[in-house]
Structure 1
Amino acid sequence: MKYILLIGDGMGDVPVPALNNQTPLEAAATPTMDRLAPASEMLLVRTVPEGYPPGSDVANLSLMGYEPEIYYTGRAPLEAASLGVELASDEIAFRCNLVHVHRPGDGRLIMIDYSSGHITTEESAQLIHALQAECGSDRIALYPGVSYRHLLVFRGCLPEGFFTVPPHDHSDQEVSGFFQEYQKVASFQSLMARSESILAEHPVNRERERQGKRTANAIWLWGEGKRPAMQTLEARFGIRGGLISAVDLLKGLGVLGGLRVVDVPGATGYLDTNYAGKAQAALDVLAQDDFVLVHVEAPDETGHQGLAREKVQAVADFDARIVTPIVEEMERRGEPFRLVVTMDHYTPIHRRTHEDWPVPMFLYDSRGVAHPSGRTYTEANVLAAVEENGLKLDSGARFFRRFVEQERGDE
């Protein structure tokens, strides 16, 4: 049996006025999902335990069968694992975003763009290397990641009550109070002040400004934590496989879960990602092993940006360029497979941030399922199917055990 987990990050939404009160999932052309879902069972799964932040870190950890209550220590340690950065016991990892902020001159700080105009990986690497050269020390080290997503490792202790927030939760909002948190740590206070001047003078930003693009004029630290201790998926569930994603967070989960992490050239985490390469990488994994996870970030990014039409495109591309080629090739191979299409969390366009609502998904089995839904895959249809069959699961761990046929679940 082959197990295929396809995740459209942040794909869930609520009716959008600009889409004739449809959700992007309802508005998008999704012929392959429309073919599979009626023959599948539909599930509603709580991926974010009560009291936990509804981030992709918690939600995807949950979808991979790990209980966040046991294994979650923060987002950045997962990204450190992806980059091959080993954290010592006295080190704390932070996600380091390259952001674009605005200072009106009255003491306020406005978060304009959490992604610096989706700066390229090549451009941002130059900026992070420059910051490391000027600001790196025995207490602070910076590592380049993908696009605007990078890593900072801090050696030391944080003051009691210290907290950070994700910049994508505060687009076009004042963040002065959150910025003041960094002033509580002497190393960060110096880093923040020096980094803005270094970024302002860097040739990469000068060229972006000349081209009318948003510059990366500041850094933003968040998602801090220490290295978690995790068993591999093989030890927990007896399965071997691989993970395909453009996002360091997901790659880190794969590393810690003992999966083979496949780097796909041109995988960007946005609408221009290399879909064909990701689909082929998944099929290559399935030719050798019994499990693959494919993660697509674009629906989440467009949700954070509040872009309705672009989110519809992201969902349609997910179906046409990930689900379709994988399913068609598996059917051609004639091997039995179980396939799940899901989101990790909702990212409603009107909110431009994550929600912790239980996520709708469908589970297709090439051998057939006991209670086929008879419905296409939309948020409303899954809710209706679940009301009829009562197939609600209270954790991602229970979902994953059911997915790999180690638990029957609620019937």
Structure 2
Amino acid sequence: MRSPGYGETQPRLDDDRLPLVLVVLDGLGDRPVPELGGRTPSEAADTPVLDALAARGASGWHLPFGWGRAPSSELAHWAMFGFADVPFPGRAVLEALGAGVDVPAGVAVTHAALRTAQTDEAGRVWITGRVGPDDTDDAARLLDDLTGLARRHDAQLTPLPRRGEALLALTGHASGAVTDSDPFFEDRHPWLRVLPLSDGPEAPEAAPTAAALEALLRDARAALRAHPVNRARADRGLPTLEVLTTKWSGARSAVPSFTEHNGVAGAAVTSTGLYRGLASVLGMASRHLRPGEDVTADLRARLAATDELIDAGARFVHVHIKATDDAGHTKRPRAKLDVLEAADRGLAGLLDRADRAVVAVTGDHATPSTGGVLHTGDPTPLVVAGPTVRPDAVTAFGEAPAHAGWYGVVTARELLPLLMGHANRAAFLGHRAGPRRTVALPDDPEPMLDPGPTPCTPDP
């Protein structure tokens, strides 16, 4: 304890601010599975490390946007990072930046992909597949020829690293507030008409964007069906790549950095282009590690990178793995259980880190490993441990145990303030250290510099 300052009675406060580590196991949440005895994979898995964290800390349910609302990863993370009230630029922007593709500001962009399709008697086009591993050369030739067609529509088509995918920029159109032509749920919806969104301030500006994109996609469809590559594929008995679908439209605009918006330096250990792009647009330091097949080793490497980022000045580090989500999408519950057990072994280093940092583990959404849904609004477990976290009665990890935790239901916008509070970094409401209301007490507000001694003016 330090002595009070001059004229003060309260001792000077020690600076015991802590770093934060947020581990997001993508698609962690699930639903009860009959073959697992009515338990979710998290409840059924043997997870001694996560159980130990639960016993040392406090638990709850993370419901990013409330009951029944099925989040996408990008929107959940946007809110989890404190940006719920900042307009989202669109996932196409993030995917392109994550792939190293420059995205012009103020231009409508969308993510485009070559797809196989069949047409029914009513003229509806049903998407049947995507570019396969053996289709790389064919897809590259098709996209290359579509670049000329795009230019005739005053657009620019830039291939992305993944097979048959590209960024489509609509020059002269500022609003990307348009619907997807990609049905996403291919067995439920056909290829969709592009329409302006009707529920936002950009709707009037988006109508010309939608019309221009629809015209381009119709011309692309005709060109693809007549293309020699697709005629040759048909002759070989292969499905033709005859549709260009679009999704995740938006436009890059000025966005405050993570540090500006939240008050502390943020960093990320990224696993895919989406998260590398998110870190880029938010000005976060990052280490990109391609996912390894060994989930345990992969997470150990990510935690090692976390220490490097904290040593370099980061005070919030996001660690992400996709393996849990991928396992959920296989619709094999035991595959997800196996991934969770491997992830638990890789997270062993969190136990020591919880002695000197606030650590949290949760998911960005639920990816049920059964049934005919992709993501759902079911809860995902949340556990937080650290020197300042008072343990509750929960001693196991999983949805059912976490329900009894002290946090109750935590939304995505509430998560960062919760963690900053445990890290002794909560913004002191009523104190204005800078022009922006940040989630945390700012680390580096602008100082008033001493102008130096005032020069003496000699008497006349």
Q: Which TM-score bucket, shorter chain as reference?
A: 0.7 to 0.9
Q: Distance in 2 between matches of 1:228 and 1:154?
A: 15
2:14 is matched with which residue? none
**1:292–1:302 CA distance, 2 compared to 1 (3 A):** same
1:95 aligned onto 2:111: yes
- Residue pair 2:61, 2:407 contacting (<8 A) in 1 also: no
Counterparts in 2 of 1:59-74, with a 5 A limit?
59-67=76-84, 69-74=85-90
1:312 is matched with which residue? 337
Q: Deviations over 1:14-42 (max 9, x none)?
A: 11123332211122232211111121111
Q: Deviations over 1:185-232 (max 9, x none)?
A: 1111222444467696599x99xx99xxx9977543211111143222
- Residue pair 1:296, 1:318 contacting (<8 A) in 2 also: no
**1:162–1:284 CA distance, 2 compared to 1 (3 A):** closer
SS at 2:86's partner residue?
A: helix
Please state how far the C-alpha of 1:108 moved relative to its aligned partner.
5.2
- Residue pair 2:58, 2:391 contacting (<8 A) in 1 also: yes
Structure 1 spans left out of the alignment, 5+ residues: none
Q: Distance in 2 between matches of 1:25 and 1:91?
A: 43
Q: Distance in 2 between matches of 1:157 and 1:90?
A: 8
What letter matches 1:191 in structure 2? Answer: A
1:302 aligned onto 2:313: no
Q: Deviations over 1:375-404 (max 9, x none)?
A: 31211222232xxx35433x4233202212
Across the aligned residues of Structure 1 and Structure 2, the Cα RMSD in angstroms comes to 4.0
- Residue pair 2:54, 2:394 contacting (<8 A) in 1 also: yes
2:207 is matched with which residue? none
Q: Distance in 2 between matches of 1:256 and 1:159?
A: 18
Counterparts in 2 of 1:228-307, with a 5 A limit?
228-264=253-289, 266-267=290-291, 274-275=298-299, 277-288=301-312, 289-307=314-332
Number of residues of Structure 1 aligned to a counterpart in Structure 2: 385
Q: Deviations over 1:51-105 (max 9, x none)?
A: 98621111011111211x4332422122233234444355222233455555578
Q: Distance in 2 between matches of 1:65 and 1:161?
A: 22
1:356 aligned onto 2:357: no
Counterparts in 2 of 1:391-406, with a 5 A limit?
391-393=408-410, 395-405=411-421, 406=425
Q: Distance in 2 between matches of 1:273 and 1:135?
A: 42
1:134 is matched with which residue? 145
SS at 2:264's partner residue?
A: coil
What letter matches 1:134 in structure 2? Answer: D
1:344 is matched with which residue? 364
1:80 is matched with which residue? 96
- Give the TM-score taking structure 1 as reference length: 0.77
1:327 aligned onto 2:318: no
1:170 aligned onto 2:194: no
SS at 2:373's partner residue?
A: coil
Q: Tell which structure's C-alpha radius of gyration is larger.
A: 2
- Residue pair 1:66, 1:396 contacting (<8 A) in 2 also: no
Please state how far the C-alpha of 1:359 moved relative to its aligned partner.
3.9
What letter matches 2:33 in structure 1? Answer: V
- Residue pair 1:28, 1:316 contacting (<8 A) in 2 also: yes
Q: Deviations over 1:271-324 (max 9, x none)?
A: 799555434333332332333211111222232332322222232232223x22
Structure 2 spans left out of the alignment, 5+ residues: 1-17, 196-209, 429-460
- Residue pair 1:139, 1:154 contacting (<8 A) in 2 also: yes
Q: Distance in 1 between matches of 2:287 and 2:79?
A: 21
- Give the TM-score taking structure 2 as reference length: 0.70
